[in-house]
């Protein structure tokens, strides 16, 4: 299995690519290990890989901080709510864009 850093980078790249293709109203600023999303109201949503904990951290202007751990099944799961990264992102982006968004699992 690839290391978690590589998997996280692929996930962030996949989310970035999806958003740039399907939701042009959002400002997307991708980097190797982080992804900044800015909506039309200048609210910031930041995803980044936290190497010390081997987690993807998500800072949301709507719901605050979330930490996602990679399970053996390949799913990034929230340590607080047990929801997946893609479920949380899809729900929040649907809310801020007033669209039905379903980000596919990378």
Superfamily name with CATH number, domain 4-95: Frataxin/CyaY (3.30.920.10)
Kindly report the number of other CB atoms within 10 A of residue 51's CB atom: 11
pLDDT tens digit sequence for 48-78: 999 999 999 999 999 999 999 999 999 999 9
From CA 106, how far away is CA 89, in angstroms rounded? 13
Please give the DSSP secondary-structure letter assigned to residue 103: P
Spell out the SS3 assignment of 79-90: CCCCCEHHHHHH
The size of the chain, in residues, is 106
pTM beyond 0.75: yes
Domain ranges of the chain: 4-95
Residue 15, C-beta contacts closer than 8 angstroms, at least 6 positions apart: 35, 47, 89, 103, 106
Torsion, Cα of 39, 49, 102, 26 (10° steps)? 20
pLDDT confidence bin for 1, thresholds 50/70/90: very low
């Amino acid at each position: 299995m690839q290391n978690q850093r590589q998997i996280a980078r692929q996930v962030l790249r996949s989310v970035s690519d999806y958003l740039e293709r399907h939701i042009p109203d959002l400002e997307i600023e991708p980097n190797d290990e982080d992804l900044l999303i800015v909506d039309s109201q200048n609210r910031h949503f930041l995803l980044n890989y936290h190497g010390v904990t081997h987690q993807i951290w998500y800072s949301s202007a709507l719901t605050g901080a979330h930490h996602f751990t990679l399970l053996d099944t390949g799913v990034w799961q929230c340590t607080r709510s047990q929801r997946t990264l893609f479920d949380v992102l899809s729900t929040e982006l649907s809310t801020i864009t007033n669209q039905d968004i379903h980000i596919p699992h990378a």
